[in-house]
Amino acid sequence: MNENELTWKNVEELFNSSIKKLSSDSAEVKLLSTPELVKLYISKYELYSDSAVKLLSTPELVKLYISKYRLSSDSAEVKLLSTLELVKLYISKYELYSDSAEVKLLSTLELVKLYISKYRVI
């Protein structure tokens, strides 16, 4: 390997030692070009709202992201919480942004019960 080639280990070291929060959602989308880079970045920084929907391209990335950060809008919630497992994980930590997100995402009796017990006083 010549000295100009970057290995994945070098990229991780660069991220861990020197990366700063990117300045905009367009910078995030342009520079975080692989799921691996997104994973490294979100281990340190929250994404801008528009880039979250574009960059969290797998359920695994969504799960990692919501373990640390709340999604920024009801449209992001609806687009990214694509499985019952993700909805359950998300509502165990965060209240949904809107009634419309509730209607779209609380699709089983179990999810409705969990959500009501956590966020609604009857």
| CA angle in degrees (0–180, nearest 5) for 51-57-59 | 125
Q: Are 95 and 75 members of one domain?
A: yes
Q: Helices 35-42 and 59-68 sit at what angle, rounded to 10 degrees?
A: 10
Query: If DSSP codes are grouped into helix, strand and coil, which group holds residue 18?
Result: helix
Same domain, 41 and 87: no
Cβ pair 62, 81 in contact under 8 A? yes
Looking at every residue in the chain, the average pLDDT score rounds to: 87
Please indicate, yes or no, whether residues 51 and 75 belong to a single structural domain of this protein: no
Assess whether 95 and 80 both reside in one domain: yes
- Distance separating alpha carbons of residues 24 and 13, to the nearest angstrom: 23
pLDDT over threshold 60, residue 119: yes
Neighbours of 108 (CB within 10 A): 11
Q: Has residue 1 got a pLDDT over 70?
A: no
Overall domain count for the chain: 2
Tokens of 97: 């942004």
Q: What is the pTM of this model?
A: 0.81
Task: Give me the mean pLDDT over the 104-115 stretch.
Answer: 95
| Distance from C-alpha of 13 to C-alpha of 21, rounded to nearest angstrom | 16
> Is residue 76 located within the same domain as residue 26?
no
Predicted confidence (pLDDT) at residue 17 exceeds the cutoff of 90? no
pLDDT tens string 34-84: 999 999 999 989 998 888 999 999 999 999 999 999 999 999 999 999 999
Share of the chain above pLDDT 70, in %: 83
Structural domain of 118: 70-122
- Select from 45, 69, 93 the last residue of a domain: 69
Q: Both 64 and 14 in a single domain?
A: yes
What mean pLDDT is predicted for residues 9-28? 73
DSSP state of 43: T
**30 and 86, same domain (yes or no):** no
Residues 7 and 54 in one domain: yes
